[in-house]
């Protein structure tokens, strides 16, 4: 069974109702977690720390959904080509 990794990250958005970051160089990478529960707990803690800033948002990215490990990658896919 494949690992189900989750990335928790966030930062200040240009508009609180959007998802475009104000400064991508200032994105807070909280971490990569082995399951949704631990990712959710980290997301919640980060979101609560920044609750006073309406422009701050944190997200959970399901890294395991980005790639089907059963499908072999081509050399150009590995190089973002």
Q: Which domains does the chain have, with CATH numbers?
A: 6-78 (3.30.70.2400)
79 or 52, which is more confident? Answer: 52
pLDDT digits (tens, 9 = 90+) for 16-62: 999 999 999 999 999 999 999 999 999 999 999 999 999 999 999 99
Given a cut of 80, whether residue 80 has pLDDT beyond it is no
Given a cut of 60, whether residue 79 has pLDDT beyond it is no
63 or 67, which is more confident? Answer: 63
- What residues contact 55, with CB distance under 8 A and at least 6 apart? 12, 13, 14, 15, 16, 22
3 or 34, which is more confident? Answer: 34
Task: Determine the 3-state secondary structure of 10 from DSSP.
Answer: strand
């Amino acid at each position: 069974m494949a690992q189900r990794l989750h990335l928790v990250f966030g930062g200040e958005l240009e508009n609180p109702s959007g998802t475009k970051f104000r400064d991508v160089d200032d994105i807070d990478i909280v971490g990569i977690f082995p399951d949704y529960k631990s990712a959710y707990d980290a997301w919640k803690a980060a979101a609560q720390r920044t609750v006073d800033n309406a422009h701050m948002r944190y997200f959970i990215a399901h890294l395991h959904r980005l790639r089907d490990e059963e499908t072999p990658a081509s050399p150009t896919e590995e190089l973002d080509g």
